[in-house]
A and B are shown apart, each in its own frame.
Chain A
Amino acid sequence: MTGLLVFIVLVFIGVAVWQLTKIFHLTQVGAAENSEIANDNDNNINGYLMFGFLAFIYLITIFCVVKYGDLPLMDNSASEHGKDVDTLMWISMILIFFVQTITQALLHYFAFKYRGKKGAEVVYFADNNKLEFIWTIIPVITLAGLILYGLYTWNNIMYYDQEEEVIYVELYAKQFGWEARYAGEDNTLGKANVRYIEGINTLGVDLADPAAQDDKVVNELHLPKGKKVVFKIRSQDVLHSAYMPHFRAQMNCVPGMVTQFVFVPTVTTEEMRQNDKMIAKVDRINKIRAKKSAELVANGGEALDPYTFDYLLLCNKICGASHYNMQMKIVVESPEDFKKWLSEKPTLAKQWAEANAPAAAPVQPEAVEAVVDTTKVLAQVVE
């Protein structure tokens, strides 16, 4: 069936091409020469088409801005630094649209205006230092501004004062899911390495480390509003990327090293759900889902759940077959609620002790081999 459809579409396209070719041919009537080099007639048609194409570029721009203009995440950021990011984005966008509008107009208008005509006057204009200087210096000044502003915000985002009061949270990525670890009372994350992974200790926390005793591992990320959160990011297998678009935050997860990103969440999940724009967006999505559900039910399937807004952590670095479905819910709440939620979670040490209760003493994980034994490696190769 699809094969037939594809065939029909191809036939239609073929007919369309043939018709278009005919139109071009009909316009050639009366042209004396019959060569494959553009004549005045071709120049005329294509000149007008160039002008039309300018209109097309503007139209598709306007269409996209009107129809999809509310998709971009350029306001409503849920983090402190996000506002700076959005401001810079707006400035850059306006600049880009301005330059785009002008240059495309010049390009296509000239292509239309100076379309070839036999014996047309041409100005021999090969060089002009003043002009070259102007369009070198204008980008220089504009870019200097953008670079300075960009670097200022970049440094604000990337560096934080060690003296500040912060909360340490570890984000842990693996194929194909996320876990998070809170530092607990001492606000220090215990040491960890994939070589400690065993049973429920899925993050490879070194349970012998005193700092690890109060660490808590969870599957849903909760963040307190208004507190600076320092994410220590790890991966257990391949590269992943911790992407939290609503917070304008992203950092890769690299096996073998700990990466870092810092931000202050400023809007709770509940507040974001009450936001007018968000309500409109959720409504729109639910309309789409309702339509899809009706289709599914008609075909004997199950209806989709209605959508409610939640912040999300997505994987944004190709990491394997199920890369497209590697997510974790993020809940931003008041510091009190956050404290309450966290205090109800058991520590990893406790969970570990419970899980290994029959054993007399907590199992000491094997020591890490610091240096790889080369003979072993060779042996593996030989195998």
Chain B
Amino acid sequence: MSAHDHGHHKETFITKYIFSLDHKMIAKQYLITGLIMGIIGVLMSVLFRMQIAWPEESFGIFKFLLGEKFAPGGVMRNDIYLALVTIHGTIMVFFVLTAGLSGTFSNLLIPLQIGARDMASGFMNMLSYWMFFISSVIMVGSLFVESGPASAGWTIYPPLSALPQAIPGSGLGMTLWLVSMAIFIASSLMGSLNYVVTVINLRTKGMTMTRLPLTIWAFFVTAIIGIVSFPVLLSAALLLIFDRSFGTSFYLSDIFISGEVLHYQGGSPVLFEHLFWFLGHPEVYIVLLPALGITSEIIATNSRKPIFGYRAMVASILAIAFLSTIVWGHHMFVSGMNPFLGSVFTFTTLLIAIPSAVKAFNYITTLWKGNLQLNPAMLFSIGLVSTFITGGLTGIILGDSTLDINVHDTYFVVAHFHLVMGISALYGFFAGVYHWFPKMFGRMMNKTQGYVHFWVTAVCAYGVFFPMHFIGMAGLPRRYYTNSAFPLFDDLADVNVLITVFAIIGAAFQIVFFWNFFYSMFYGKKATQNPWRSNTLEWTTPVEHIHGNWPGEIPEVHRWPYDYNKPGHDEDFVPQIVPMKEGEEQLHH
């Protein structure tokens, strides 16, 4: 189908902005929804951080945001604290960093960078977004339930999540959580199937797999991990729904609560842990790989140098993806599973450090002797490599079953995963937004505000999560409403205040980003076709969005995407559509 045919469709407001089949519009829908969910998720973290730093104090903002019921007299209730922690985790992991990140950039970049007119199935793509939207609405709606939203932690381990007697949030709040996640998973699967099919089938002429930009490799592999692991979470959730509503005993056994013995017999919570983490761990890479893909592209473009070790990068993505599906047990070293399994999972887990190290070194080498254009996107990409290293290294401790015994479920874990997947993926997200904003909205974001945003965020991210390692190693468990019940932890109080202050400043400065984003959308400087002088195909499309992406024929691809400053060329970049000169060598093979 040529672009010309698309022109015949009459566009109304509804088909263009709401039920759009166009991947670029769907990407924007994902982005805006993801950002709104992000505001909610981050705001929650500020609220519970305030409770940790100044336990059981009365705050006007608690009263204002949580209401008299959840925060009587402005003091946060202890089960509401857990509810905030739970929903913060759920929203950030699934709604912001899975749907928001993958949904935005896979949708935007897969067709544009492989040279396709649209996704393989535009309709399924639209359905995927709208199911994500519905699940977001249900998740946010669960905050307004009288007994409070789900509060069993984002990992919703039964029996806590199964029994309303155990915590109020496990009533209607948990039901909504499960319904929302079931819809979310359906949405995610439709999206992922679409990405995989599109990458395999719709590449333009000359776009062999080894000429794909690393972004596409990352999105492609991410989608495959999603397809492999998300259905397992869906089944785990379904069985939990059965236990909760139909009296089955998949996860429950021998329970005495509120003065009575429940009828459940023969189930095991450990089974749930296995099923949950079979998704839960790959999920970390579902979040992280797209960010690493985005970073690879941005670092190469802004270094004006080819990405170092393209094949090693692809191999590491594949190795990480494969290993990610056989390491879930490292979340369960002290769950009561057979210690032999602990040994196996220690072994597979520490292996992941190898491809991760290769990636980190390749990024650093890409910078070496480059001509670094320090645009905001580039700063966030370098920031990502930095937090990826800092956070990744402590994985060596947590992945080691012996050491995990003592730091399991402490703040050490919180520090580790927030740096390595939370902050890193968020940086990837920001980098992507700054870099592809001109492609999405035809305008430029303000660079000065971008710099301010980056530097304050970077300082605050370390300020929040670096000291957290120390209180974790001091044995402070996570998810404690207050530490004042233990005089033992009194000397951690000032660290917690420091962390919270950094968190508040860091969160407040995200306003700079949102201002920049929405202002530039309407009043930003008009973008040129290829502002970053990049090689990839998306910059050969017109600034003004059209259905089908290219006005004429889809361009043919003649080279890999990383020919920056290639000897023998006048310009410092050679787009993929430029044919090889006579006698020119493909230097990267």
Residues on A close to B: CB < 8 A? 1-3, 6, 9-10, 13, 17, 20-21, 24-25, 28, 35-38, 42-43, 45-47, 49-50, 53, 56-57, 60-61, 64, 68-69, 71-74, 84-85, 88-89, 92-93, 95-96, 99-100, 103-104, 106-108, 110-111, 114-117, 120-128, 131-132, 135-136, 138-140, 143, 146-147, 150-151, 153-155, 157-159, 174-175, 193-195, 197, 204, 233, 236-239, 241, 243, 245-246, 248-252, 254-257, 259, 281, 284-285, 288-289, 292, 304-305, 307, 312, 314-325, 327, 369-372, 376-378, 380-381
* Other A-B pairs beyond A9-B504, A320-B167, 13, CB < 8 Å: A1-B60, A17-B512, A25-B448, A53-B458, A114-B372, A127-B589, A135-B358, A150-B401, A154-B346, A257-B253, A314-B486, A324-B485, A371-B265
Contact partners of B372 in chain A: CB under 8 A = 43, 47, 111, 114-116
Contact partners of A71 in chain B: CB under 8 A = 470-471, 473-474, 491-492, 495
Q: Tell me the bound Cα distance from A255 to B306 in angstroms.
A: 55
Given contacts A239-B269, A256-B268, contact A68 B312 (CB under 8 A): no
Question: Looking across the interface, which residue of chain A has its beta carbon closest to that of B453?
Answer: A17
User: Are A307 and B487 touching (Cβ within 8 A)?
Assistant: yes
B93 proximal to A (CB < 8 A): no
Taking the closest CB of chain B, its distance from the CB of A263, in whole angstroms, is 10
Contact partners of A322 in chain B: CB under 8 A = 78
Of B402, B446, B479, which one neighbours A36 at CB under 8 angstroms? B446
User: Are B396 and A318 touching (Cβ within 8 A)?
Assistant: no
Given contacts A96-B396, A241-B334, contact A38 B374 (CB under 8 A): yes
Interface of chain A, main secondary structure: helix
Given contacts A124-B565, A135-B358, contact A324 B473 (CB under 8 A): no
User: Are A42 and B451 touching (Cβ within 8 A)?
Assistant: yes
Q: Tell me the bound Cα distance from A249 to B358 in angstroms.
A: 34
Taking the closest CB of chain A, its distance from the CB of B362, in whole angstroms, is 8
B323 proximal to A (CB < 8 A): no
Q: Tell me the bound Cα distance from A251 to B361 in angstroms.
A: 37
B390 proximal to A (CB < 8 A): yes
Contact partners of A10 in chain B: CB under 8 A = 508
Contact partners of B307 in chain A: CB under 8 A = 126
Question: Looking across the interface, which residue of chain A has its beta carbon closest to that of B348?
Answer: A147
Given contacts A127-B310, A316-B408, contact A42 B447 (CB under 8 A): yes
Contact partners of B386 in chain A: CB under 8 A = 53, 57, 104, 107-108
User: Are B452 and A154 touching (Cβ within 8 A)?
Assistant: no
14 A–B pairs (Cβ distance < 8 Å), ordered by A:
A60-B463, A71-B473, A88-B400, A107-B363, A122-B303, A122-B305, A122-B369, A127-B310, A143-B350, A146-B400, A314-B475, A323-B480, A369-B265, A380-B247
B256 proximal to A (CB < 8 A): yes
User: Are B334 and A251 touching (Cβ within 8 A)?
Assistant: yes
Q: Tell me the bound Cα distance from A21 to B453 in angstroms.
A: 10
Contact partners of B397 in chain A: CB under 8 A = 89, 92-93, 96
Of B400, B451, B467, which one neighbours A68 at CB under 8 angstroms? B467
User: Are B61 and A3 touching (Cβ within 8 A)?
Assistant: yes
Taking the closest CB of chain B, its distance from the CB of A148, in whole angstroms, is 10
Given contacts A151-B343, A327-B486, A377-B263, contact A239 B448 (CB under 8 A): no
Contact partners of A6 in chain B: CB under 8 A = 60-61
Contact partners of A106 in chain B: CB under 8 A = 364
B490 proximal to A (CB < 8 A): yes
Contact partners of B168 in chain A: CB under 8 A = 321
Contact partners of A245 in chain B: CB under 8 A = 406, 475
Q: Give 1 or 0 for each of B10-39: 1 = CB within 8 Å of chain A CB.
A: 000000000000000000000000000000
User: Are A255 and B354 touching (Cβ within 8 A)?
Assistant: no
Contact partners of A36 in chain B: CB under 8 A = 444-447, 524-525, 531
Taking the closest CB of chain A, its distance from the CB of B86, in whole angstroms, is 9
Given contacts A197-B261, A237-B256, contact A323 B493 (CB under 8 A): no
Of A104, A153, A254, A378, which one neighbours B269 at CB under 8 angstroms? A254
User: Are B488 and A103 touching (Cβ within 8 A)?
Assistant: no
User: Are B159 and A126 touching (Cβ within 8 A)?
Assistant: no
Contact partners of A138 in chain B: CB under 8 A = 357
Taking the closest CB of chain B, its distance from the CB of A136, in whole angstroms, is 6
User: Are A154 and B402 touching (Cβ within 8 A)?
Assistant: yes
Contact partners of A131 in chain B: CB under 8 A = 309, 361, 365
3 shortest interchain CB distances as A-B pairs: A256-B253, A245-B475, A72-B473
B44 proximal to A (CB < 8 A): no
Contact partners of A140 in chain B: CB under 8 A = 354
Taking the closest CB of chain A, its distance from the CB of B539, in whole angstroms, is 13
Taking the closest CB of chain B, its distance from the CB of A124, in whole angstroms, is 6
Contact partners of B508 in chain A: CB under 8 A = 9-10, 13
Of B306, B410, B505, B589, which one neighbours A316 at CB under 8 angstroms? B410
Residue of B60, B268, B374, B462 with most chain A CB atoms under a 10 A cut-off: B374
Taking the closest CB of chain B, its distance from the CB of A65, in whole angstroms, is 8
B564 proximal to A (CB < 8 A): yes
User: Are B491 and A284 touching (Cβ within 8 A)?
Assistant: yes
Q: Give 1 or 0 for each of B490-502: 1 = CB within 8 Å of chain A CB.
A: 1111010000000
Contact partners of A25 in chain B: CB under 8 A = 448
Taking the closest CB of chain A, its distance from the CB of B195, in whole angstroms, is 27
User: Are A254 and B347 touching (Cβ within 8 A)?
Assistant: no
Given contacts A72-B474, A125-B306, A140-B354, contact A250 B346 (CB under 8 A): no
Contact partners of B354 in chain A: CB under 8 A = 136, 139-140, 143
Taking the closest CB of chain A, its distance from the CB of B299, in whole angstroms, is 10
Q: Tell me the bound Cα distance from A131 to B368 in angstroms.
A: 13
B371 proximal to A (CB < 8 A): yes
User: Are B481 and A324 touching (Cβ within 8 A)?
Assistant: yes
Given contacts A21-B452, A327-B485, contact A257 B336 (CB under 8 A): yes
Question: Looking across the interface, which residue of chain A has its beta carbon closest to that of B263?
Answer: A372
B529 proximal to A (CB < 8 A): no
Taking the closest CB of chain B, its distance from the CB of A303, in whole angstroms, is 13
User: Are A56 and B459 touching (Cβ within 8 A)?
Assistant: yes
User: Are A17 and B452 touching (Cβ within 8 A)?
Assistant: yes
Contact partners of B525 in chain A: CB under 8 A = 35-36
User: Are B308 and A126 touching (Cβ within 8 A)?
Assistant: yes
Question: Looking across the interface, which residue of chain B has its beta carbon closest to that of A144?
Answer: B350
Q: Tell me the bound Cα distance from A353 to B361 in angstroms.
A: 70
Taking the closest CB of chain A, its distance from the CB of B374, in whole angstroms, is 4
Q: Tell me the bound Cα distance from A241 to B495 in angstroms.
A: 25
Of A99, A121, A252, which one neighbours B336 at CB under 8 angstroms? A252
B567 proximal to A (CB < 8 A): yes
User: Are B452 and A20 touching (Cβ within 8 A)?
Assistant: yes
Q: Tell me the bound Cα distance from A95 to B392 in angstroms.
A: 13
Q: Tell me the bound Cα distance from A27 to B534 in angstroms.
A: 27
Q: Tell me the bound Cα distance from A100 to B369 in angstroms.
A: 22
Taking the closest CB of chain A, its distance from the CB of B276, in whole angstroms, is 12
User: Are B477 and A285 touching (Cβ within 8 A)?
Assistant: no
Given contacts A21-B448, A195-B254, A255-B252, contact A123 B369 (CB under 8 A): yes
Give residues of chain B (331-379) contacting chain A, Cβ–Cβ below 8 Å: 334-336, 339, 342-343, 346-347, 350-351, 353-354, 357-358, 360-365, 367-375, 378-379
Given contacts A37-B447, A104-B390, contact A64 B364 (CB under 8 A): no
User: Are A125 and B305 touching (Cβ within 8 A)?
Assistant: yes
Residue of B245, B351, B396 with most chain A CB atoms under a 10 A cut-off: B396
Of A46, A92, A127, A241, which one neighbours B374 at CB under 8 angstroms? A46
Q: Tell me the bound Cα distance from A88 to B374 in angstroms.
A: 40
Q: Tell me the bound Cα distance from A327 to B185 in angstroms.
A: 38
Taking the closest CB of chain B, its distance from the CB of A329, in whole angstroms, is 11
B135 proximal to A (CB < 8 A): no
Q: Give 1 or 0 for each of B255-299: 1 = CB within 8 Å of chain A CB.
A: 111000101111111100000000000000000000000000000
